[in-house]
Amino acid sequence: MTMQEQSVLVVKVGGGEGNRIEPVLDDLADLWHAGRRWVLVHGGSARTNEVATALGHPPQFITSPSGFTSRRTDRQTALIFTMVYAGEMNKTIVEGLHARGVNAVGLSGADGRVLEGERKKAIRAVVNGRRLIIRDDYTGTITRVNSSLLHLLLNAGYAPVLCPPAISQEHELINVDGDRAAAALAAALSAKTLVLLTGAPGLLRFPDDPASRIATLPLAALDDAMNTYAQGRMRIKLLAAREALEGGVQRVIIAASNAAHPVRQALAGDGTVISRWGRQEEETHEHSATANEHRA
Ligand code: ADP
Q: pLDDT tens across 119-143, in order?
A: 998 999 988 888 999 999 999 999 9
Distance CA 125, CA 136 (A): 13
Distance CA 181, CA 137 (A): 18
Q: Is 71 annotated as a binding residue?
A: yes
Q: pLDDT tens across 65-94, in order?
A: 888 888 999 999 999 999 999 999 999 999
Instruction: Choose the residue to mutate in 231, 236, 253, 257 for probing ligand 1, maximizing ligand atoms within 8 Å of C-beta.
Output: 231
Contacts (Cβ under 8 Å, ≥6 apart) of 174: 73, 78, 117, 119, 138, 139, 140, 165, 166, 167, 168
On the question of pLDDT at 99 being above 60, the answer is yes
Distance CA 114, CA 7 (A): 19
Q: pLDDT tens across 34-76, in order?
A: 999 999 999 999 999 999 999 999 999 998 888 888 899 999 9
The CB of 194 under 6 Å from ligand 1? The reply is no
Domain ranges of the chain: 10-293
State pTM to two decimals: 0.92
Please give the pLDDT value at position 294.
33
- The CA 70 to ligand 1 mean position distance, Å, reads 13
**131 class by beta-carbon count within 10 Å (0-12 exposed, 13-18 middle, 19+ buried):** exposed
CATH 3.30.365.10 fits 10-293, yes or no: no
The CB of 230 under 6 Å from ligand 1? The reply is yes
